[in-house]
Amino acid sequence: MAQSSHAQTHRGTVRKINEDAFLELPSLGIWVVADGMGGHAAGDVASQLVTDTIQSVVEAVPVEQMSCELLTQALQEANDKLQLMSANEFSGKVAGSTVVILWIRENRYHLLWVGDSRGYLLRDEQFTQVTKDHSQVNDMVDEGLLRAEEAEHHPLANVITRAVGVDSKLEVDIKSGELQSGDVFLLCSDGLNKEVSDFEIEHTLLSGNIIDAGMALMHASLVRNARDNVTCILIKNSLQNEINPRANDESTIPLFNKS
């Protein structure tokens, strides 16, 4: 099997700078979306530091030595760098970032994440969110204090409970599974799912072409006056002879508010 991907990012229509960053390393089976915290010091620096650290770590080892443990170590390294940066360069103000990583090797996929950047999977025309937001509203849903459909528009929707750079000890969630031909993964910052519903995303992805779908998702968020930066990567897993050449084009923790 082989993967094709398409990534894009936009600062949106409100924010002055883009605090999102992404990484595509298809030859290593690695894709990353990072969302620097708006309203904090140097969110754009933080997200880029996260992606740069991951890239330097994964490119320094043979492909066969790659593991979820190594990716977790890379995130902890980025966490340590951001803590040091916050203390030395930003007078103690938090410089942090959410992150979601997709790693594919042979017939298995692995999603690692911290915060509310999301990883979705479209399989057999069924669209599911694989990751689980580290957010206050999600905790409220789990505790039965809030209905899931109320979470997206709740006043505390921007309050996340976990991010790279916030605390000395980083907790990374991981989900793994078997890979199937035709699987389509979506990695995105919350700027996308704030503007476009899961139902709309699913309908768009069912078109089959990841470039067309990615452009449509970005367009949908921008015409709705995207309030936040928007980043998305679509990754399609196919048999080698099914790859569309077009799809290879590259275009405990304190609570804090990302807005």
pLDDT band at 136 (very low <50, low <70, confident <90, very high): confident
Q: Is the pLDDT of residue 249 over 50?
A: no
Q: Is the pLDDT of residue 239 over 90?
A: no
CATH code of residue 20: 3.60.40.10
The pLDDT value given to residue 89: 82
This prediction's pTM: 0.89
Task: Spell 35-53 as b/e; 16+ CB within 10 A means b.
Answer: bbbbebbbbbbbbbbbbeb
CA 15 to CA 133: how far, in whole Å? 23
Instruction: Quick: pLDDT tens for 162-175.
Output: 999 999 999 999 99
Instruction: Quick: pLDDT tens for 34-89.
Output: 999 855 558 899 999 999 999 999 999 999 999 999 999 999 999 999 999 988 88
| Alpha helices (runs of H) in 32-67, residue ranges in sequence order | 43-58
What three-state secondary structure class fits 106? Answer: coil
Domains in the chain, number: 1
Q: Is the pLDDT of residue 24 over 70?
A: yes
Structural domain containing residue 247: 2-257
CA 164 to CA 34: how far, in whole Å? 10
